């Protein structure tokens, strides 16, 4: 029997407790031992829970219980999760977490402590919810050098964008619907401003390239400025707009990492990932493109990924999984202004195509039947983002109003 | 240092040798030990190979070398692969194979021997080539009860069908093109008759449901009877035709398993998996649908999956991976005639819709602009396959010629 503790009894935490109870028999068969939930930490009371007798409000009940070998952290947020996880690892307990904020902020340090203590720190559920991604990347693709990762990593924004694309819904209405259906939180800023996707691409980049990438170092744009006009121009250009987290290995050993809305060609595997679903493409030098698709959030999908990590910890109580990356100083990250991309630009003014050609050289005008007469959109050649911004300034000085600028995904 | 031997130096085998050489450094970092290719078994000579000094024509050089801890079997076919693998396992060596025919025919026995000898028998590359699927199913989805697996498991047939769908190419021409491009073998029968896909769904079903499923017990249809007319009727019905391997858990503990071409709705995640790519959907009770996509064959994709298994064996030289299923007697497999599905039927004759309604009751006629006047196609309600065949006989007695019958995928 392996005793585990669960810190947090919210959506994911109650899902973990539920799966460990309802799937007890199956889990026993795959480990050869029973997983026993000994403590559940939460400040609230759950008198109706079938595990009511396991609840505690005191973290020390978990920390000081030497029988507890595996601790699940599903509280979310940095505090007190960071402190608790560190203490558990230092006490020789393996830790499993679904907390992407924690892993993105302190992954390197926590992995180093786990290594020192010869225990495991696993976080499959932190990216892609129920979609297997961390373990496949770390194990199945181990014989590959990863060239690129690109993904739709946030279900909330993907739901909103899909509603705009498929039903012509306005951003604000789509957001309200997402909140009503439980796909968006009351304060949706971490999702719609791209921070959630950023944490996830940071975790994947750290894993793939071996050095911690901190979210602060990553150019991050959300979807709040995307309008129905952009959606329609994109469609005329054979593309859909998706919020993409992307990291690419450059030849000089640097990485080009970004989170931003992008125009994705309709034929791309990522273009068909709709609503609350996530999809992650990993390009290996041997495998080529591999895509993982599924529900990126939700109680049971996320909880099942947590439980898979718990099972892995139970199987490796005496050995450590080879999951590790070093700390990072950000020096391997290409500055955003040097990142090269073709750009979609929507503009308003007189004589705009001539003016745009003067500034950008060759452009591709996007024709759209129902656009207003003094507005148009075009796509530039590939150029570094800094150069693009300078050219946009020039265009604005020439009395052209730049309404939107979105990267081309090239995915 | 861990010494490994590779049996077979064909497409996949030479890829394994190549990756173990070119990715030496990276692999060292993830194991903490060097992987040394000590022997390569092949009846041919490869004097130009950088590993020319490692070649042998004598299997006993591998079997009797106690330093060899991991043996890679990439010869293909049942003989002598089966004999060699069994001997290696019994000699206490872990074995990694890409040989789906071997795993589908003898998986249960070889897993039992591996268990007895406390060594590993791994076969990630046997299904989906470079796509991670065996390990994700066995580890990441361990907290799920699998309800259904459905996949496009054969790149050759998917390439042919895609060419028919996208370019209106005839079956024979698409097959010839596939052969020319190296996506189909000179003798393509195992692919186009569905046997290759059958072996793969058998492996996945055995893994998911814990009992070996032998290919003989699975109703298997190929794509040789699919015509361009069917492709066009399917399109009019909002579907594409794909060769699907599918297994479903029934409430009574039985499984419903089949390989056959199916009409797949265009909105399905599997509908957009084109050309030589594979895609596998796994439906778990907690995760919901998870889809894995990528190249299902080819030298480096397949070899990289083999190498990932070699790495896993090297990390687990003293412990066994929990990958196991029991032998099966076929008693848990639903007879094909009891398997329920709606059916697409293409027919020729006079007054056919009235006759079809007499026999099948409610049907949905498929309208297609350019069909010939005495031909039509319709979709039936769901019914057991046996009942469907009886009704088809009745229809034929009524002077209706049944040109095609294809299942609806419901995916």
- Secondary structure class of B388 (helix, strand, coil): helix
Model confidence pLDDT, tens digit, residues A237-254: 999 999 999 999 999 999
Q: A411 and A265 in contact (C-beta within 8 Å)?
A: yes
Residue A160 Cα, gap to closest chain B Cα (Å): 19
The set of residues, in sequence order, having a beta carbon less than 8 Å from that of A387 and lying 6+ positions away, is: none
pLDDT of amino acid A209: 96
ipTM of the complex: 0.94
Instruction: Indicate whether A185 pLDDT > 80.
Output: yes
Query: In the predicted model, is pLDDT for residue A372 greater than 80?
Result: no
- The string of pLDDT tens digits covering residues A260-271 is 999 999 999 999
CB contact under 8 A, B287 and A131: yes
**Which residues between 7 and 36 in chain B have a beta carbon less than 8 angstroms from any beta carbon of chain A?**
15, 19, 23, 26-27, 30-32
**Other Cβ atoms within 10 Å of B168 Cβ, number:** 10
Residue B206 is predicted with a pLDDT of: 98
For residues A340-347, give the mean pLDDT: 97
Give the integer Cα–Cα distance in Å for B372 and B314: 62
pLDDT at position B100: 97
Give the pLDDT band of residue A337 (cuts 50, 70, 90): very high
CA distance B287 to chain A (A): 4
Q: How far is CA A246 from CA A29, A260, A279, A295, A399, in A?
A: 39, 9, 12, 19, 34
Confidence of residue A369 (pLDDT cuts 50, 70, 90): confident
The contacts of residue B163 (CB under 8 Å, 6+ apart) are: B169, B173, B174, B177, B178
Please check whether residue B145 touches A, CB under 8 A: yes
Q: Is A295 on the interface with B (CB under 8 A)?
A: yes
* A293/B292 touch (CB, cutoff 8 Å), yes or no: yes
A 194-213 → B contacts, CB under 8 A = none
Mutate to test the interface with B, among A25, A140, A265, A288 (most CBs of B within 10 A): A140
Report the half-sphere exposure of A289 (CA within 13 A, side-chain side): 17
* Stretch (H or E) spanning B394: helix B385-397
pLDDT score recorded for residue B369: 81
Q: Is B273 left (phi over 0), alpha (psi -120 to 50) or beta?
A: beta
Query: Tell me, what DSSP letter sits at residue A109?
Result: H
Residue of A nearest to B130 (CA): A287
Q: Do B294 and A290 touch (CB under 8 A)?
A: yes
Chain A CB contacts of B131 under 8 Å are: 287, 290
Which chain B residues are Cβ-neighbours of A304 within 8 angstroms? 141, 143-144, 284, 286-287
**Could B305 and A140 be called an inter-chain contact, meaning their C-beta atoms sit closer than 8 Å?**
yes
Neighbours of B300 (CB within 10 A): 25
| pLDDT for A373 | 78
CB distance from B317 to chain A under 8 Å? no
- Of B317 and A385, which is predicted with more confidence? A385
Q: Is the dihedral of CA B29, B30, B36, B40 positive or negative?
A: negative
Classify residue A90 as left (phi > 0), alpha (psi -120 to 50) or beta: alpha
pLDDT of residue B5: 98
> CB of B46 within 8 Å of any CB in chain A?
no
Q: What is the rounded CA–CA span in Å between residue A292 and residue B400?
A: 46
Residues of chain B with Cβ-Cβ distance to A26 below 8 Å are: 142-143, 145
Question: Facing residues of B348 across strands?
Answer: B375, B401
Put simply, the answer to whether A304 touches B295 (Cβ < 8 Å) is no
> What CA–CA distance (Å, rounded) separates A70 from A67?
9
**A228 within 8 A of A168, measured Cβ to Cβ:** yes
Instruction: For residues A203-213, give the mean pLDDT.
Output: 97
What is the reported pLDDT for A318? 80
Cα within 13 Å of Cα(B38), Cβ side: 19
B23, A143: Cβ pair inside 8 Å? yes
Look at residue B282 and give its three-state secondary structure: strand
Q: Are the C-beta atoms of residues B233 and B346 closer than 8 Å to each other?
A: yes
* CA of A279 vs chain B CAs: smallest distance (Å): 9
Residues A216-241 have a mean pLDDT of: 97
CA distance B286 to chain A (A): 5
User: Which pLDDT value is given to residue B88?
Assistant: 98
Query: Which one of the listed residues A200, A246, A299, A321 is annotated catalytic?
Result: A200
Of the candidates B194, B204, B183, B202, the residue with the CA atom closest to the CA atom of residue B280: B204
Predicted confidence (pLDDT) at residue A371 exceeds the cutoff of 80: no
- pTM of the entire structure? 0.96
For residue B354, the SS3 value is helix
Unique residue bearing structure tokens 């999702």 = A191
Cα–Cα distance measured from residue A305 to residue A27, given in angstroms and rounded to the nearest whole number: 13
- For residue B316, CA distances in Å to A78, B97, B121, B348 come to 35, 16, 11, 61
pLDDT computed for residue A319 by the predictor: 79
How far does the CA of residue B301 sit from the closest CA of chain A (Å)?
Answer: 4
**A291 bridge partner residues:** A281, B293
Residues in chain B: 411
Catalytic residue list contains A86: no
Count of other CB atoms within 10 angstroms of residue A271: 22
Element counts in chain A: helices (H) and strands (E)? 14, 18
What whole-number distance in Å separates Cα of residue A351 and Cα of residue A317?
70
Q: What percent of chain A has pLDDT over 90?
A: 92
Q: 3-state DSSP call for residue A8?
A: coil
Question: Cβ(A100)–Cβ(A134) under 8 Å?
Answer: no
Question: Given this model, what pLDDT does residue B18 score?
Answer: 97
Task: Enumerate domains of chain B plus CATH numbers.
Answer: 2-129+300-315 (3.40.50.720), 134-296 (3.30.360.10), 340-408 (3.30.70.260)
A6 touches chain B (CB under 8 A): no
* Residue range A72-127, pLDDT digits in tens: 999 999 999 999 999 999 999 999 999 999 999 999 999 999 999 999 999 999 99
Residues of A in contact with B311 (CB under 8 A): 139, 142-143
Count of other CB atoms within 10 angstroms of residue A259: 28
At residue A193's C-alpha, the angle toward residues A85 and B289, to 5°, is 70
pLDDT value at residue B319: 79
Q: Name the one residue in this structure whose structure tokens are 């019914």.
A: B383
Interface check for A384 against chain B (CB to CB < 8 A): the answer is: no
CB contact under 8 A, A322 and B284: no
β-pairing, A363-366 vs A343-348, is: unpaired
Residues of chain B with pLDDT under 70: none
> Measured between beta carbons, which residues in chain B are less than 8 angstroms from residue A148?
none
Q: Is A96 an interface residue toward B (CB < 8 Å)?
A: no
| Alpha-carbon distances of B298 from B12, B55, B109, B125, B225, rounded to whole Å | 8, 23, 28, 11, 27
Element (H, E) at A4: strand A2-7
Rounded to an integer, what is the distance from CA A362 to the centroid of its chain? 35
Contact B286 A294 (CB under 8 A): no
Q: What is the mean pLDDT of residues A187-215?
A: 97
**What distance in Å separates residue A35's CA from the closest CA in chain B?**
12
Q: Which of B200, B246, B248, B405 is catalytic?
A: B200
A340-341 and A383-384: which strand pairing?
antiparallel
For the segment A148-158, what is each residue's pLDDT rounded down to a tens digit?
999 999 999 99
DSSP output for A351-403: SHHHHHHHHHSSEEEEP-TT--TTEEEEEEPPEEHHHHHHHHHHHHHTT-EEE
SS3 of residue B132 by DSSP: coil
């Amino acid at each position: 029997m392996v005793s585990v503790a669960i810190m947090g009894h919210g959506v994911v935490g109650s899902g973990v407790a539920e799966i460990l109870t309802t799937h007890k028999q199956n889990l026993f068969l795959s480990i050869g031992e029973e997983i026993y939930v000994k403590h559940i930490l939460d400040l609230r009371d759950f008198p109706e829970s079938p595990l009511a007798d396991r609840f505690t409000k005191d973290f020390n009940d978990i920390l000081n219980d030497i029988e507890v070998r595996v601790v699940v952290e599903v509280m979310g947020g940095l505090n007190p999760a960071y402190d608790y996880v560190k203490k558990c690892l230092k006490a020789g307990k393996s830790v499993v977490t679904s907390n992407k904020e924690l892993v993105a902020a302190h992954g390197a340090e926590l992995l180093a402590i786990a290594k020192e203590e010869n225990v495991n720190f696993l976080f499959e559920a932190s990216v892609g919810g129920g979609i297997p991604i961390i373990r496949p990347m770390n194990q199945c693709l181990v014989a590959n050098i990863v060239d690129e990762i690109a993904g739709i990593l946030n279900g909330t924004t993907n739901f909103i964008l899909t509603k705009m694309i498929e039903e012509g819904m306005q951003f604000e209405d789509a957001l309200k619907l997402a909140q009503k259906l439980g796909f968006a939180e009351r304060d949706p800023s971490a999702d719609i401003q791209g921070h959630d996707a950023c944490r996830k691409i940071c975790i994947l980049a750290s894993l793939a390239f071996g050095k911690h990438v901190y979210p602060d170092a990553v150019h991050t744009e959300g979807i709040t400025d995307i309008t129905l006009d952009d959606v329609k121009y994109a469609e005329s250009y054979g593309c859909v707009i998706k919020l993409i987290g992307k990291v690419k290995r450059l030849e000089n050993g640097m990485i080009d990492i970004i989170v931003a809305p992008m125009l994705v060609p309709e034929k791309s595997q990522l273009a068909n990932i709709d609503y609350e679903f996530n999809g992650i493409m990993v390009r290996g030098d041997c495998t080529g493109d591999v895509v993982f698709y599924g529900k990126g959030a939700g109680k049971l999908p996320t909880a099942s990924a947590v439980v898979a990590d718990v099972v892995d910890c139970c199987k490796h109580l005496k050995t450590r999984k080879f999951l590790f990356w070093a700390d990072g100083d950000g020096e391997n990250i290409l500055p955003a202004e040097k990142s090269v991309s073709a750009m979609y630009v929507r503009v308003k003014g007189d004589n705009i195509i001539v003016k745009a050609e003067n500034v950008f050289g060759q452009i591709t005008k996007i024709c759209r039947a129902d656009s207003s007469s003094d507005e148009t959109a075009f796509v530039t050649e590939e150029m570094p983002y800094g150069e693009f911004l300078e050219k946009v300034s020039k265009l604005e000085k020439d009395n052209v109003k730049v309404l939107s600028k979105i990267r081309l995904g090239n995915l």
